[in-house]
């Protein structure tokens, strides 16, 4: 009997690399952030984004991020040899992202010359207009991380206390009324976030994947299951395929509720995987 030929239609990985990615949880401790991106209060790491991009796409395909921040997804796509587009509402972050991308291009040299890596200053809610104006081709993969509701406004957060001591660092994303991170009502936030993600469906190729990195949030002594609520809402538009749990084990523990009540130190995020069936 002849040996079955392995044909990989999704990515450029070996079978061993494919199997490693299939584990439902992983530990990823991001490298130190560079000075010019420290201003952003909730940047997600390029190293993590690159792993997902390399699993869900092949070289030369198109990656999209509707909330690109200071450019993590674009940098990751360049390193992976993919074309990429990202939208950012905050003009200051968009400018930083463009500088970061330019520096990454210089580091990569000629190997990245043929790759598109565009940062667009706009509102992701206007994606139809943006796709038309910038002639963004059909997307092979979308990866993004939204605001975790308005939790950056929580004055008790230890990281926020530290950032308030340095005027060069932002504590919140912006004061823009279109910024989802400024919405006080949870249900309104969830609805508007869902609308943005469902609005991407016409531009994501059939059977292509969407990854959203998010976590449940605590506020006023209560858990708001943002990741689970978002999964339920988007499951009406996309096929919810799976989840990966991103764990961080290098963060300092704080004695929340010590001697009185159970309050966890939450060091994990959900990487929700949807497919455009």
Nearest to 75 by CA among 103, 40, 54: 103
Strand order in the sheet with 62-65: 25-27, 239-247, 268-275, 204-214, 139-144, 62-65, 83-88, 117-121
| CATH number for the domain running over 36-275 | 3.40.50.150
Q: Can you spell out the DSSP letters for 206-223?
A: EEEEEEEEE--EEETTEE
What is the C-alpha to C-alpha distance for residues 18 and 12, in angstroms, rounded to an integer?
9
HSE of 71 in the Cβ direction (CA atoms, 13 Å)? Answer: 29
What is the C-alpha to C-alpha distance for residues 23 and 126, in angstroms, rounded to an integer?
36
pLDDT at 117: 97
Q: How many CB atoms lie within 10 A of CB 61?
A: 22
Q: Where are the domains of the chain?
A: 36-275
Summarised one tens digit per residue, pLDDT across range 187-215 is 999 999 999 999 999 999 999 999 999 99
Nearest to 26 by CA among 260, 269, 221, 274: 269
Q: Are strands 268-275 and 217-219 parallel, antiparallel or unpaired?
A: unpaired
Is 76 buried (19+), middle (13-18) or exposed (0-12) by CB count in 10 A? buried
Beta bridge partners of 219: 222
Q: Would you say 87 and 122 are in contact if contact means Cβ atoms under 8 Å apart?
A: yes
Summarised one tens digit per residue, pLDDT across range 109-132 is 999 999 999 999 999 999 999 999
The pLDDT confidence band at residue 163, using thresholds 50, 70 and 90, is very low
Summarised one tens digit per residue, pLDDT across range 205-256 is 999 999 999 999 988 888 999 999 999 999 999 999 999 999 998 888 989 8
Nearest to 64 by CA among 248, 215, 276: 276
Summarised one tens digit per residue, pLDDT across range 42-83 is 567 899 999 999 999 999 999 999 999 999 999 999 999 999
Nearest to 277 by CA among 241, 243, 239, 242: 239
Q: Does the pLDDT of residue 271 top 90, yes or no?
A: yes
pLDDT at 40: 44
Q: pTM of the predicted model, to two decimals?
A: 0.89
Structure letter (DSSP) for residue 152:
G
What is the phi/psi pair of residue 233, to 5°?
A: -65, -45
What is the C-alpha to C-alpha distance for residues 49 and 74, in angstroms, rounded to an integer?
9
User: What are the CA-CA distances from residue 185 to residues 13, 133, 153, 180 (Å)?
Assistant: 43, 32, 13, 10
């Amino acid at each position: 009997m002849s040996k079955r030929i392995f044909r990989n239609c999704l990515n450029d990985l070996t079978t061993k690399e494919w199997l490693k990615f299939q584990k439902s949880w992983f530990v990823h401790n991001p490298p130190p952030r560079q000075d010019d991106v420290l201003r952003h209060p909730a940047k997600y790491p390029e190293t993590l984004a690159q792993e997902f991009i390399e699993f869900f796409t092949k070289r030369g395909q198109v990656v999209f991020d509707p909330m690109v921040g200071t450019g993590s997804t674009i940098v990751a796509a360049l390193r992976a040899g993919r074309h990429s587009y990202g939208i950012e509402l905050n003009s200051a972050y968009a400018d930083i992202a463009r500088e970061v991308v330019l520096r990454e291009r210089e580091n990569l040299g000629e190997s990245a010359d043929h790759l598109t890596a565009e940062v667009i200053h706009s509102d992701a809610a206007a994606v139809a207009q943006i796709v038309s104006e910038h002639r963004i081709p059909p997307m092979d993969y979308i990866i993004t991380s939204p605001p975790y509701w308005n939790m950056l406004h929580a004055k008790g957060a230890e990281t926020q206390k530290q950032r308030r001591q340095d005027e060069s660092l932002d504590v919140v994303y912006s004061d823009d009324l279109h910024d989802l991170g400024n919405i006080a009502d949870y249900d309104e936030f969830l609805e508007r976030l869902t609308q943005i993600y469902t609005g991407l469906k016409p531009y994501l190729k059939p059977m292509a994947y969407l990854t959203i990195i998010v976590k449940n949030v605590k506020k006023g002594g209560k858990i708001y299951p943002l990741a689970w609520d978002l999964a339920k809402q988007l499951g009406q538009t996309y096929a919810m395929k799976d989840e990966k749990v991103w764990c961080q084990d290098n963060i300092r523990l704080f004695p929340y509720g010590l001697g009185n009540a159970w309050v966890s130190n939450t060091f994990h995020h959900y990487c929700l995987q949807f497919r455009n069936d």
